[in-house]
A and B are shown apart, each in its own frame.
Chain A
Amino acid sequence: MEWRRSYGRAPKMIHLESNFVQFKEELLPKEGNKALLTFPFLHIYWTECCDTEVYKATVKDDLTKWQNVLKAHSSVDWLIVIVENDAKKKNKTNILPRTSIVDKIRNDFCNKQSDRCVVLSDPLKDSSRTQESWNAFLTKLRTLLLMSFTKNLGKFEDDMRTLREKRTEPGWSFCEYFMVQEELAFVFEMLQQFEDALVQYDELDALFSQYVVNFGAGDGANWLTFFCQPVKSWNGLILRKPIDMEKRESIQRREATLLDLRSYLFSRQCTLLLFLQRPWEVAQRALELLHNCVQELKLLEVSVPPGALDCWVFLSCLEVLQRIEGCCDRAQIDSNIAHTVGLWSYATEKLKSLGYLCGLVSEKGPNSEDLNRTVDLLAGLGAERPETANTAQSPYKKLKEALSSVEAFEKHYLDLSHATIEMYTSIGRIRSAKFVGKDLAEFYMRKKAPQKAEIYLQGALKNYLAEGWALPITHTRKQLAECQKHLGQIENYLQTSSLLASDHHLTEEERKHFCQEILDFASQPSDNPGHKIVLPMQSFAQLRDLHFDPSNAVVHVGGVLCIEITMYSQMPVPVHVEQIVVNVHFSIEKNSYRKTAEWLTKHKTSNGIINFPPETAPFPVSQNSLPALELYEMFERSPSDNSLNTTGIICRNVHMLLRRQESSSSLEMPSGVALEEGAHLLRCSHVTLEPGANQITFRTQAKEPGTYTLRQLCASVGSVWFVLPHIYPIVQYDVYSQEPQLHVEPLADSLLAGIPQKVKFTVTTGHYTIKNGDSLQLSNAEAMLILCQAESRAMVYSNTREQSSDAALRIQSSDKVTSISLPVAPAYHVIEFELEVLSLPSAPALGGESDMLGMAEPHRKHKDKQKTGHCMVTTDHKVSIDCPWSIYSTVIALTFSVPFRTTHALLSSGTRKYVQVCVQNLSELDFQLSDSYLVDTSDSTDLQLVPLNTQSQQPIYSKQSVFFVWELKWTEEPPPSLHCRFSVGFSPASEEQLSISLKPYTYEFKVENFFTLYNVKAEIFPPSGMEYCRTGSLCSLEVLITRLSDLLEVDKDEALTESDEHFSTKLMYEVVDNSSNWAVCGKSCGVISMPVAARATHRVHMEVMPLFAGYLPLPDVRLFKYLPHHSAHSSQLDADSWIENDSLSVDKHGDDQPDSSSLKSRGSVHSACSSEHKGLPMPRLQALPAGQVFNSSSGTQVLVIPSQDDHVLEVSVT
């Protein structure tokens, strides 16, 4: 039925069971009743009376009496049931309903509670009326019963609280209160409200715990002292009975001990929890309870015989576990191991301590004292309880058996341990499993079974190492060392010892002990002399840093290399080491370039100190603290053209990253590697390693060239070898051998010809030793002088650029050979000295045209023209040098640049002729020019070169030009061509006095056809009758061509025609206006026949029209030689001749101003020609050389005034 409760508690469906008992006055509860289960909740008065008389006579009195009794007991829960019988009723059919018994009773007793009276009609009949009345009765009964129950329960709870509030009063008894509250719990249990029942027990539990705590804090309650009586019985929890009446009674009698109370409480809680289907909470609470009890006993200072609690806990654990197993199936248990494993482990622990206590673990077995103790403990267990007597595996039996003999104990203990380890492992609690395993190992060690212990110790150690727990590592290692010692695993033992000796978590004495163990072993005369025990060095000593001398770790063959290493000894005492050996791996690198001295000295710029990262030995690598990836780019280039072949990324510390994790603690080194006695060893004997840092120096003389890699470091102490299998980062040194070499290079960017220049000689001696008398023999180049200075000195450097000496240089020169005697220098040194050389300027030129540069040297390089236009002309001088170390000569080319560029030009004024020479300084230096000369090389006596230059000294600055002019004068007929040589002295402007006189700079050139043959004069006249020329009006242009000389050599060409001793030549004139000032009307060109005689004149008239007003320059008049068609040429008239022709016209343009109109006009000629050029003979034009025509009217201007009717003024603004 539904149960509604006060205080807002949720309504619940409950099952209320009731008993019907006959009313007795003594059954009525008295004041202060504590029993709730036997409480009379509802009083029912049954009557069959249907007669008013009978009622009045007896029933009413009886009812009144009953009511009074109830009232006296202040019970208000009652019900009157009147059973009506049809049979009886029939007799009194005339009775009025008002006066029925029911009404009377209602009237008399239920004045306000009419529902307290129920009529049950014909209960035995099977009619609808009967059914109805039964229903009504039962409903009423239930309601009233529940009402009463609720009321009484509430009252009970209130009473209970009141009682609890009195707990501070003296004389309050916990046991009494316990019984009261348990009554409530029973009621709830009866109602199947297990949750509520459990709460009652939990409250009791908490209350008791609080008292214990308070007691511990000094606030004791009297009643608690009662629980503090010594523990005499430790027979564990009893969970198989729902209520342990025995314990309950002892509580009731106030005779229970703390353990009894706790046991009883827990057994009740357990029962309720199991009802609630919460077995795992039982396990959890059991563990808490056991811990708690142990604590409370301690707190209350209860005297407990040694081992008694262990027994109790052990029994209890097993009892709980068996109880849980009893109510769950296997699968459930397996999936809830996490809850029970704690109890297993606790039981194991307790059994272990019992075993130790009773001497069951020692090798010899228990002694008499142990046996006495065992007997006492067994006595405390009492007799086995009847309910488990038949169970074979009862906790009681187990414990008794385990304590009975050494063997039995071992069996039970191992069973339990293995079960616990298995359970821990199955739920992933590896650390806990290892910890139990360690206990087991300890047990095995005590049982003198180290072979069984080792695996557990190793397992635990691996776990601690993996997670870096220093103290457990140390402790486990210590145990392992003992184990290994017993097992006779010498190598392992020594290794563990070395680890322990270096362990800072141990005391100094312990470390010394382990160190001594190693030393003792090492000093033992070995029965097998060749036998070595190889141990990793890490724990013995650590390589801290390494220092090379020379610091770049590059040494030449035969050189001495020092390697100084710092070893940090981890041992607590000084250790004498017979020898320390570094294994060196030798390799010859294929790429020979990378091993040359230059490369090595350039690229190895380290300071020679290599630091080794301290190993993280105390906190070894867990997965995430692996060393970081060390990645490097890798490029491989083809050796021929340096193009990229392959590229990639290299991980340099693969061996660190990819090594197996598990093997880190074991000996992973094959001894073969360590004992490899390579040819290359660095050795240091008899070293005493003090604790801490030690400096050890290795000294080696380099032998073969190549790369040496330091691979392993071994330290031997007797037959024990400590080996560092890999030296990382990689340490290498290089040994090289070098051929002697001679380098000659200019000091400046480029050498200038003509002035002394410094050249540096570098002799790298390599493996050659320069002896006294060794010299360099320089075969002299013709045009290059080696200037011997008295003061030359040579510097000798060592390979590392430290100056070792300097010496005077002796230079002896003969015609052909200059000999330089080298100072004495040892191998692998560098000798440096400087020499001054002078390249002689220009040799005679081979007659260049005006544009060509006059310098033509024997080794002139024909670079492309464009380049010579901007750059200096260079000259190469090859010097062959004989070196003392070689039978072959070294040929060295020195390139000198000519600092000047010279051009010349022929200038005319009528028949007077001038030669202009332009000198351009191309270099970065400033020069002083002096003594310029121009001489005629052909030595014609009638020709005079009159200098018009005023200054004899003239500076010429960098990138500037200087012009020189001479006038040509002659008396007789001038030669057709003139060979000239220009020379000018020069010296660097900045330099002080030079020791030697410098040769002047010369420039040779040829001037041809310099004599003026024709004079062209043009004049423009205004139209007749006008004073000035006007725009738009035609003016006449008169061109006067005058021959100035008679027949000369130069005239003798194809155009010359001879008739009657008279010679004439054909000329073509052309009037071109380059600025479009004039419009030429009519023919602008024509061919004239010119008599070859002095003062022969030809006059040409033309019409021109000025297009603009102002002072206009006259149009140009050009003269060409008109070469007639020649049969000899016609056949050769092909593309080549045209090119020739073309180049000719280019020449024509090259000399002066190139102008568009002339181009146009020439283009017309070309086009005229091109129309008939194939097959047809055609005349050719040849420009007259610039010197042969003098235009006397060049530069003149004519005034043109605007025409009067021209009002348009053009203004162009740009």
Chain B
Amino acid sequence: MAVCIAVIAKENYPLYIRSTPTENELKFHYMVHTSLDVVDEKISAMGKALVDQRELYLGLLYPTEDYKVYGYVTNSKVKFVMVVDSSNTALRDNEIRSMFRKLHNSYTDVMCNPFYNPGDRIQSSPGGPYFLCPYPVQVGPTSCVRSSPGGPYSCVRSSPGEPYSLCPIQSRAFDNMVTSMMIQVC
């Protein structure tokens, strides 16, 4: 169970960042931002290795008293940073690795979304762009409600018969993925 998951663009601005507990969001932002130092260091150290042999998983970036920060970098230099509670000893390197891989897959799905502009923030906020949601699973939401600020959106159906409605573009699946990673004990 991660306490903070961030996707950071090649240019080091956050594409996506979410953390539980939300009241400490700022601390995690700082933490993730600072961790980029180590990510950069590791990437430049890795630069010499052949591209195809390169390990995307960067391992533990740095530990703090309460958290462990792990890193992962895609071939396009998009970084994933995950903050895990230090007291959570159940999470071993392998679990972290697989979580990153799942995250990467989800991120790839986001990138494949034709409505998504690479470089945009991955968001499912009501202010963002919308599209007609064609999937039966997501059918019906006429308004997207957030249970808590920063939390996932849930769809509220206005009437059961409604076939399609607007969904915020991108990221619903990604958001759900992240949510599951934050809740589940892998």
A interface with B by C-beta (< 8 Å):
213, 216, 287-288, 290-291, 294-295, 298-299, 338, 342, 424, 427-432, 435, 464, 467-472, 475, 619, 622-625
Contacts and interface: CB of A to CB of B under 8 A. Distances in A.
Contact of B38 (A429, A622, A623): A429
A288 B62 CA distance: 10
B55 interface: no
A464 B12 CA distance: 10
B26 A475 contact: yes
A216 B121 contact: no
A213 B89 contact: yes
B25 A288 contact: no
A1034 B11 CA distance: 111
B13 interface: yes
Interface stretch (B28-36, B101-109, B133-141, B165-173): B28-36
B118 to A, nearest CB: 11
B126 interface: no
A473 to B, nearest CB: 10
A426 to B, nearest CB: 13
B101 to A, nearest CB: 26
Contacts of A424: 37
B135 to A, nearest CB: 29
A469 B29 contact: yes
A472 B33 contact: yes
B129 interface: no
A514 to B, nearest CB: 18
Interface in B135-159: none
A432 B40 CA distance: 12
26 contacts: A213-B89, A216-B87, A216-B89, A287-B63, A291-B65, A295-B66, A295-B87, A428-B37, A428-B40, A429-B37, A431-B36, A432-B34, A435-B33, A435-B34, A467-B11, A467-B36, A468-B11, A469-B14, A469-B33, A470-B14, A471-B25, A472-B26, A475-B26, A622-B11, A623-B11, A624-B11
Interface centre among B11, B41, B121 (most CB of A within 10 A): B11
> Interface size for chain B: under 10, 10 to 19, 20 to 34, or 35 or more residues?
20 to 34
B54 interface: no
Across the A-B interface, give the 8 residue pairs with the lowest CB-CB distance, nearest first. A468-B13, A429-B37, A471-B29, A622-B11, A467-B12, A431-B37, A213-B89, A624-B11
B13 A467 contact: yes
Nearest to A475: B26
Contacts of A467: 11-13, 33, 36
A247 B37 CA distance: 39
A619 B86 CA distance: 31
A627 to B, nearest CB: 13
B114 to A, nearest CB: 20
A429 B38 CA distance: 7
Nearest to A296: B87
A428 B41 contact: yes
A1171 to B, nearest CB: 93
A1161 B168 CA distance: 99
B78 to A, nearest CB: 13
B41 A294 contact: no
Nearest to B38: A429
Given A287-B63, A467-B13, A625-B11, A430 B87 contact: no
The residue among A288, A464, A469 with the most chain B CB atoms within 10 A of its own CB is A469
A427 B121 CA distance: 30
A622 B86 contact: no
B91 to A, nearest CB: 12
B53 interface: no
B65 A294 contact: yes
A291 B63 contact: yes
B64 interface: yes
The secondary structure that dominates the A interface is: helix
A338 B33 contact: no
Nearest to A309: B65
Contacts of B163: none
Nearest to A287: B63
Contacts of B86: 291, 295
Given A298-B87, A624-B11, 18 more contacts: A338-B41, A428-B41, A429-B38, A429-B41, A431-B33, A431-B37, A435-B34, A467-B13, A467-B33, A468-B12, A472-B26, A472-B29, A472-B30, A619-B121, A622-B11, A622-B13, A624-B10, A625-B11
A460 to B, nearest CB: 10
A467 B36 CA distance: 11
Nearest to A429: B37
B21 interface: no
Nearest to A313: B65
Nearest to A464: B33
Contacts of A619: 13, 121
Contact of A291 (B10, B36, B64, B121): B64
A475 to B, nearest CB: 5
A281 B1 CA distance: 29
A287 B64 CA distance: 9
A625 B87 CA distance: 39
A625 B119 contact: yes
A623 B41 CA distance: 20
A288 B37 CA distance: 19
Most buried by A among B12, B63, B65, B87: B65
Interface in B108-132: 119, 121
A622 B66 CA distance: 32
Most buried by A among B10, B26, B29, B62: B29
A4 to B, nearest CB: 35
Contacts of A475: 26
B29 A299 contact: no
Contacts of A464: 33
A288 B68 CA distance: 11
B81 to A, nearest CB: 12
A470 B14 CA distance: 9
Nearest to B66: A295
Contacts of A470: 14
Contacts of A625: 11, 119
A537 B34 CA distance: 32
Nearest to B127: A504
Contacts of A342: 62
A622 B12 contact: yes
Given A291-B64, A295-B87, A432 B37 contact: yes
Contacts of A432: 34, 37
A389 B89 CA distance: 40
Interface string B29-71: 1100110111011000000000000000000001111100000
Contacts of A469: 13-14, 29, 33
B177 to A, nearest CB: 22
A220 to B, nearest CB: 15
Given A468-B13, A622-B12, A625-B11, A435 B87 contact: no
Contacts of B10: 624
Nearest to B44: A428
Nearest to B39: A431
A957 B11 CA distance: 78
B170 to A, nearest CB: 16
Contacts of B62: 342
A338 to B, nearest CB: 7
Nearest to B86: A295
A430 B37 contact: yes
A471 B25 CA distance: 8
